[in-house]
């Protein structure tokens, strides 16, 4: 298999895996994504989130509004630009995100345990650093 064919097969397979794992989610994907960005990147503006997610400002603002209403995110004036709001993950938001991540991991872990034998699990574990290197390369662009 050449590199392009391998890349396409990997893209399809990983995409299907991600979508299958997300079926365990209990919150809309946009809201979960916002919580994840705030968890990994610290306080951000709605514009920052829209840019990172590659969605419209309006789409990001809708998710932010829902999260603010649920108390999962809080907003404060931006220290350098009073026209902007800086969004922070609340303790409730951290807890909800951890719950979603546990649910996803449990779903995937159960599938791994049911479908893969010991040797296949070792092969999968050995592939993780390779996938991490590919991800690092693609995100460095």
Average pLDDT over residues 60-74: 96
Angle at 44 between CA 42 and CA 50, to 5 degrees: 125
- Alpha carbons 102 and 54: distance in angstroms, whole number: 26
CATH for 118: 1.10.10.10
Q: Is 15 helix (H, G, I), strand (E, B) or coil?
A: helix
- When divided into structural domains, the chain yields a total of 1
Residue 31 has pLDDT above 90, yes or no: yes
Which residues form the domain of 51? Answer: 22-139
Q: Quote the DSSP letter at residue 27.
A: S
Which tens digit of pLDDT belongs to each residue from 70-127? 999 999 988 888 788 999 999 999 999 999 999 999 999 999 999 999 999 999 999 9
In a domain, 131, yes or no: yes
In a domain, 28, yes or no: yes
pLDDT of amino acid 139: 86
pLDDT of amino acid 83: 85
In a domain, 110, yes or no: yes
- DSSP line for 36-102: HHHHHH-SB-HHHHHHHHT--HHHHHHHHHHHHHTTSEEEEE-SS-TTSEEEEE-HHHHHHHHHHHH
Prediction pTM value: 0.82
Question: What are the structure tokens assigned to 75, written together?
Answer: 């907003």
């Amino acid at each position: 298999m050449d590199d392009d064919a391998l890349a396409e097969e990997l893209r399809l397979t990983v995409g299907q895996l991600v979508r299958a794992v997300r079926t365990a989610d209990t919150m809309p994907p946009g809201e979960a994504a916002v919580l994840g960005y705030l968890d990994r990147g610290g306080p951000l503006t709605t514009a920052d989130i829209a840019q990172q997610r590659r969605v419209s400002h309006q789409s990001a603002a809708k998710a932010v509004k829902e999260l603010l209403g649920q108390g999962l995110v809080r907003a404060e004036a931006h220290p350098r630009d009073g026209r902007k709001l800086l969004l922070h993950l609340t303790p409730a938001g951290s807890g909800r995100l951890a719950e979603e991540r546990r649910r996803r991991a449990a779903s995937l872990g159960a599938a791994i345990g049911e479908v893969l034998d010991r040797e296949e699990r070792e092969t999968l574990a050995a592939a993780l650093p390779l996938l991490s290197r590919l991800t690092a390369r693609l995100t460095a662009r």
